[in-house]
Amino acid sequence: MDERLSKTIEDRTEELAALAADLIRFPTVNPPGDAYRPCAEFIGERLRKRGFGVEYIRAEGAPGDSDRYPRVNVVARFDGRSRGSAVHFNSHIDVVEAGEGWTMDPFAGLIRDGRVYGRGACDMKGGLAASIIAVESFMDVYPDFPGAIEISGTVDEESGGFGGVAHLAKQGYFSRPKVDHVIIPEPLNKDRICLGHRGVWWAEIETRGEMAHGSMPFLGDCAVRHMGAVIRAFEDELYPALDQKRTRMPVVPEGARRSTMNINAIHGGQTDDYSGLPSPNVPDSCRMVIDRRFLLEETLAEVKDEIVTLLDRLKGSRSKFDYSIRDIMEVLPLMTERDAPVAEAVAQGIREVFGREPEYVISPGTYDQKHVTRIGHLHDCIAYGPGILDLAHRPDEWVGVADMVESAKVMAVGLGRLLGASGR
């Protein structure tokens, strides 16, 4: 890789670690969506000083938005000296709650032994910091670059991205001609390119029964027992069938390279809050939330039909069985092709920095790429960033300083190729 660019980034190693630590010190915990505004303003003010045009976009009326917890996003743009394509680095600024088990303050931004610790270090304030340093270094070395560079800090990714990337995408922030290429620095490891994710269908299944006194259950009809029959059918038929559905998508970890379904929640009968005395009722309703992850090889209609067919068969075979099903969330699977410009540019960065071919992966769960592609209709989008995926959302989360530096180099090389400005 270009020596000057490489050295410029290396010289800013301490600054990069400090920037990640500064970002961690904003406790942008979601829910409820704390400290979004000061964190967005911290990013925006830094980039404004570098000459970026900065916009703050609050997603008014989005889920969770209130005056106490405003959904404030920041989008910064720098137009080069001549026309060209626009490259956008998008990071979410929200983090999940700290949870138990920390051996340090999760929001202190501790830097120790070549690592930056804290909630969000890896997912994904380390990636955000790396992209900022990559962009600033690139601009120092190539001040006359053509095209435009954008950096955004967006909210609510951990809760679906509705007040963040989805909101911005609806307003054209992730569409041509404003933007051509998008890199999302999620923690997928510094030598891997994430091309997309599996699909998701969340649904609630309800079985119904009839109330009666618990001492005479035969007078009623127990909705929980009906749900038991649903689970038995899942175990006997559905799960073995899902296990057989393999995909050409390179999903990591390997165990997710097929269809899966989790039962997120199940509830029947009286409330789980036993502060009062339990009462002896036959439950007339039982509800289950399923989380089905599906593949490019499956359509959403097939995925739904598989479940509905099973439930309809129970309706035919089991006395008094009745059910309803309600969609909660649907996300189609996505896979950007390896020869898409953004994937090729970042792959070249990995070759130049690490001297080897990138690994191409697909995320088992979704992230904001879905909104860029589905709402923004922009298909040239990947995730690439430092940090070890397995550390995300865990206690003592950290990101390696050297990993951030190396991935900043990869991003800078990719940026140069996409803008056609790296003097090749």
Binding site for Zn ion (CB under 5 A): 123-124, 186
Q: Cβ closer to Zn ion: 123 or 284?
A: 123
Q: Cβ closer to Zn ion: 35 or 124?
A: 124
On whether the CB atoms of residues 389 and 372 are closer than 8 A, the answer is: no
On whether the CB atoms of residues 24 and 120 are closer than 8 A, the answer is: yes
Q: Which residue is nearest to Zn ion (CB)?
A: 123
Q: Cβ closer to Zn ion: 92 or 257?
A: 92
Burial (CB count <10 Å: 0-12, 13-18, 19+), residue 228: middle
Q: How many CB atoms lie within 10 A of CB 365?
A: 11
Q: Cβ closer to Zn ion: 89 or 142?
A: 89
Tell me how far, at minimum, the Cβ of 231 lies from Zn ion, in Å: 32
Q: Cβ closer to Zn ion: 290 or 383?
A: 383
Which pairing describes strands 260-268 and 146-154: parallel, antiparallel, or unpaired?
unpaired
Q: How far apart are CA 118 and CA 20, in angstroms?
A: 10
Query: DSSP E strands: which ranges in 168-252?
Result: 181-184, 192-197, 199-208
Tell me how far, at minimum, the Cβ of 186 lies from Zn ion, in Å: 5
Of 126, 106, 30, which is closest to residue 72 (Cα–Cα)? 30
Q: Cβ closer to Zn ion: 170 or 393?
A: 393
Tell me how far, at minimum, the Cβ of 18 lies from Zn ion, in Å: 21
72 Cβ partners below 8 Å, 6+ apart?
36, 37, 40, 41, 56, 57, 58, 155
Tell me how far, at minimum, the Cβ of 206 lies from Zn ion, in Å: 32
Burial (CB count <10 Å: 0-12, 13-18, 19+), residue 50: middle
Tell me how far, at minimum, the Cβ of 388 lies from Zn ion, in Å: 13
On whether the CB atoms of residues 368 and 161 are closer than 8 A, the answer is: yes
252 Cβ partners below 8 Å, 6+ apart?
192, 361, 362, 363, 364, 389
Q: Cβ closer to Zn ion: 180 or 186?
A: 186
Tell me how far, at minimum, the Cβ of 123 lies from Zn ion, in Å: 4
